[in-house]
A = this chain, B = another copy of it.
Amino acid sequence: MRKLIAGGLVAATALVGASGALAQQKDEDFVKYRQGAFQTIAWHFGPLAGMAKGDIDFDAELAQRNAERLAQLASMPWEGFEGGPHDAGDGHTHAKEAIWEEMDKFEGGAEKFQQEVDKLAEVAQQGELGPLRQQVGAVGDTCKKCHDNFKED
């Protein structure tokens, strides 16, 4: 059994980089993580925005699943900023300096986003396009507000 565990741990370690990297995350890891988390959020928001705009057919089941996932994902990206590096060491980032200069405002925006996607997940359970459309708009507004303030184009 011990050998099995050890094997799994060797595998686990290989997956997340060399042993030292586990204890000390590299700047690059922070940037990759927060970009990956936003990418995952955008993927799930896309079809909801498409349904709200009428670009794709309303699919109540997909809307509910994606809204639920968004409510789970909404809390995730921020730890890639707080206490993290401003860029990956090579200047590669879309994050504005304003994030660290106005962390309270940034965190407030993250909280507002969480509130609106939580409401989206509730609304999506109704299975009706009208209320969903309205709440997708409310979520989109929180995204845009933060991007305007804190994200480079």
Chain A residues within CB distance 8 Å of chain B:
4-17, 19-20, 22-23, 25, 29, 32-33, 35-40, 42-43, 45-50, 52-53, 55-56, 69, 72-73, 76, 80, 133-134, 136-141, 143-144, 147
- Known contacts A47-B22, A50-B23: does B76 contact A11 (CB below 8 Å)? no
Is there an interface contact between A16 and B141, defined as CB atoms closer than 8 Å?
Answer: no
Instruction: State the copy count for this chain.
Output: 2
Residues on B with C-beta less than 8 A from A53 are 9, 12-13, 19, 22
A101 to B145, CA, bound (A): 44
Give A147 to B50 CA distance when docked, in angstroms: 33
Residues of B within 8 A of A80 (CB): 43
Do the beta carbons of B42 and A11 come within 8 Å of each other? no
Selected from B13, B69, B133, the residue in CB contact (under 8 A) with A76 is: B69
A-B residue pairs in contact (CB < 8 Å), sample of 5: A10-B140, A15-B143, A16-B42, A22-B49, A72-B73
Given A22-B56, A23-B56, A9–B43 Cβ distance below 8 Å? no
Nearest opposing residue in chain B for A6, CB measure = B137
